[in-house]
Chains A and B, each alone.
Chain A
Amino acid sequence: MTGLLEGKVAFITGAARGQGRSHAVRMAEEGADVIAVDLCAQIGTVPYGMATPEDLAETVRQVEALDRRIVASTVDVRDSAGLQSALDDGVAQLGGLDVVSANAGVFSTARFEDLTDDQWDDMIGVNLTGVFRTARAAVPHLKANPDGGAMVLTSSTAGVKGIPNAAHYVAAKHGVVGLMKTLANELAPHRIRVNSLHPTTVDTDMIQNPAMYGLFRPDLGTSATREDAEAGFRTTNKLDVPWVESIDISNALVWLCSDLARYVTGVQLPVDAGNLVK
């Protein structure tokens, strides 16, 4: 059986672990080669451990185990030149670009009046400007593709509604929707489709950490565990689950990027266990 993305090349940011790795592996299963980038380093205002070079190497191993090619680079999505050269290099090696997953992101929390300039700047820099830079680097390559292409920007349920104590995250994720809608309009004549994904909580290191558990269990603070926080997460969703898995976001991504969704563009697709409808 031929895959849904046979012969395609996918550019994925934040591919070292979590959803990004799952996207790389899932797309490779469907026949795509992968250009993977990740920071693989800590950002000071992020209250949990970020990905490491070993994580990115593991993504490379898993994609290669599927007999697909992968070109991986350590690069910051805030670094235009670095991002462009990593992408150009990957496109040169793999022979083109068809789909883009702008997935890299960070999370942190603070009461609004306590948000520091550094928290704000890091968040907007990575989660909004980083998505802009990713898309801008990719568009010339997609336009050069006679078959057009598909771009998927990872937003969040927090890109549709407000949540307390994360004004910078909510602002950045709403901003991603603005980018998506503009790009959908601008690129439709080139048969380039652009959509956004809006996950509810996903079972990754971004939320599986003491800082997040403490948010749901202020009574326990940072000594709260996954088990302590689970019930709190569950109340945010309409379906009876505390979180969804990375594979669920990857399945939505593959659908959006494949010909199965060849006329889907400008769409905000929640994968949110009914979080937004609740």
Chain B
Amino acid sequence: MGKLEGKVAFITGAARGQGRSHALRLAQEGADIIAVDLCEQVGTIDYPMSTQEDLDETVRQVEALDRRIHAVKVDVRDQAAMKAAYAAGVAELGPVDIVLGNAGIAPLGSAEPDPERTFDEVVAINLKGVWNTVWVAAQDMIDRGQGGAIVLTSSTQGLTGRGSDGSAAAIGYAAAKHGVVGLMRSFANWLGPYGIRVNTVHPTGVHTPMVENEVIGRYVEENADAAAMVANLMPIDLIDAVDISNAVLYLVSDDGRYVSGVTLPVDAGFTAR
């Protein structure tokens, strides 16, 4: 018997990387999945973003676990489209118990011809996109009266600005990820009385296509400060997506039934040094 038998999880950025890992980990524990992803390039990002094929692969892998999945190509910045995607998922799979605001971009190392645009885009996706994600689900969760659990993916850069180089990318990313903590704390206060718990996870560098690409690789190599962004206490550089999924699973399952309002680093000691 899984820890999430009969639950439905709404997950953004689920085409690949951590989002796919979360979908699979939760499905392994019995949850059905509403998966959304942009599956397109965004203008300020030079590394390859996910594709429709990636999202199809998530669908295939969840179905291989005998769980149901409703996948939608949608932009977290578009609240109306998010509302529709969420509603279609609920119509097919039933009401949502779990929300994971995971979609994000990392413009660090991408060309920055227009810093204002870089800043605006990362804040729009990494901060407002997270607000949209919770916003389209929260009222239903309140009305249903069954509680629930929300986990927002911040970053070590949501707790420290260590390693920043003054680029709009680095500052915008850190500001948005710090902003996610503000969202979480506000949501936790708003939704706590309804039994809906809200927490953030703060990964250090994770083995995903977001960082395992030439753009970010070059950035870390060429930028002395950036090395500080990936210097962990434990003797490991990058951790695995499943490590974040295991933290998310603890937070959304009954094991964490009284954990709310918490910023949980999964960072090999990065923020403790």
Contacts and interface: CB of A to CB of B under 8 A. Distances in A.
7 contacts: A191-B235, A239-B260, A251-B256, A252-B255, A267-B272, A272-B258, A274-B188
Contacts of A261: 246-247, 250, 266
B189 A265 contact: no
A270 B246 CA distance: 17
Interface of B: 185, 188-189, 192-193, 195, 197, 204, 233-236, 239, 243, 246-247, 249-250, 255-262, 264-269, 271-273
Given A244-B258, A248-B258, A264 B193 contact: no
Contacts of B256: 251-252, 271
Given A252-B250, A263-B268, A272-B259, 10 more contacts: A181-B272, A188-B233, A188-B234, A238-B188, A239-B197, A263-B234, A263-B239, A267-B265, A271-B256, A277-B188
A16 B246 CA distance: 31
Interface residues of A, number: 34
Contacts of B234: 188, 191, 193, 263, 265
Contacts of A244: 258
A235 interface: no
Contacts of A271: 256, 258-259
A242 to B, nearest CB: 11
A152 to B, nearest CB: 14
Nearest to A184: B272
Nearest to B255: A251
A276 to B, nearest CB: 6
Contacts of B258: 200, 239, 241, 244, 248, 271-273
Contact of B255 (A255, A267, A274): A255
Contact of B243 (A248, A262, A267): A262
